[in-house]
Amino acid sequence: MEYSETVPVQYQEGTAAFMDMNVLVDPRVLIPRPETELLVSVAAGLCRGKSWKSPVILDVGTGTGVIPLGLTKLIEDCRVIGADICEEALNVARENLRRFNREDRVELVVSDMFAAFVPEYENFFDCVVSNPPYVSEKDYEGLDAWVKAEPRIALCAGREGMDHLNVLAGQSGRFLAPGGFIAVEAGYDQAQKVKDAFRVSGFTDITAFRDFNGYERVITGWKRG
Ligand SMILES: C[S@@+](CC[C@H](N)C(=O)[O-])C[C@H]1O[C@@H](n2cnc3c(N)ncnc32)[C@H](O)[C@@H]1O
């Protein structure tokens, strides 16, 4: 097989590695990154620490569905709803759920952020998790061609890259059950802004977790019980 230099190798091969799984990828979806494995392991650890029976988790911006795949691998009895604004991305997620036999534990929903969950799912989820788009306009310009081969809608989040993170901070409390938590991935320089936004929205025990390069990349916060 001859490889092109401008198309990510994962798109050329049709798969990407995530938590010991080979998930299907193509240009309809973002290629999963190692930082997202940290997000999944942090969220799973917090869920398991609570000894909840059958926790219900919402993944906002599910893309390939790697977060539901990872969570259902690490938390035996959880159920996950994977939401995405992009129907094409959900078709890839659907193929991945079939590939790993998770169709009975993960539901997929087209939704612009929380829009599809009003009002039935208010005070409902034990955990809201998300790896949202978080690239700023300026950073997008400087990205390599092979990163720009990924869907722009999966990367870009307004001028500061905070558009989706701010919605998550501002609205997830409404959809979390009392005592539930939010866990998000953010860019290498966005953790402080996310922590501030969580604080303003009333989350407690706000904590940041570092990636292998020492950057705070995963931020969690709790809704009062
Ligand atoms: C950074 S990708 C994350 C994909 C996957 N969860 C992962 O971690 O690899 C962000 C995802 O959010 C979706 N997205 C973008 N804007 C959205 C919105 N307003 N509402 C819901 N999903 C959105 C994109 O289609 C994309 O699949």
Domain boundaries, the chain: 9-222
The residue whose CB lies within 8 Å of the most ligand 1 atoms, and thus the one to mutate among 15, 66, 81, 84, is: 84
Nearest CA to ligand 1 atom 4: 63
Sheet arrangement for strand 216-222 = 106-110, 79-84, 56-60, 125-130, 176-185, 216-222, 204-210
* Residue 210, token pair as written in the block: 């570092």
pLDDT in tens, 82-91: 999 999 999 9
H helix or E strand, kind and range, residue 222: strand 216-222
Instruction: Tell me what pLDDT residue 6 has.
Output: 81
Q: Which residue has the tokens 């997620």?
A: 93
Give residue 4's pLDDT: 80
Query: Checking phi first, is residue 82 left (phi over 0); if not, alpha (psi -120 to 50) or beta?
Result: beta
Q: How far is the CA of 120 from the centre of ligand 1 (A)?
A: 22
Question: 84 alpha carbon to ligand 1 midpoint, in Å?
Answer: 6
Where are any strands of DSSP class E within 43-194? 56-60, 79-84, 106-110, 125-130, 176-185
Question: Sorting pLDDT into bands at 50, 70 and 90, what band is 223?
Answer: very high
| 48-81 residue pLDDT tens | 999 899 999 999 999 999 999 999 999 999 999 9
pLDDT score of 149 more than 90: yes
CA distances from 53 to 48, 95, 174, 192 (A): 9, 28, 21, 33
CATH homologous superfamily of 9-222 equals Vaccinia Virus protein VP39 (3.40.50.150)
Average pLDDT in the chain: 97
What's the confidence (pLDDT) of residue 194? 98
DSSP state of 8: -
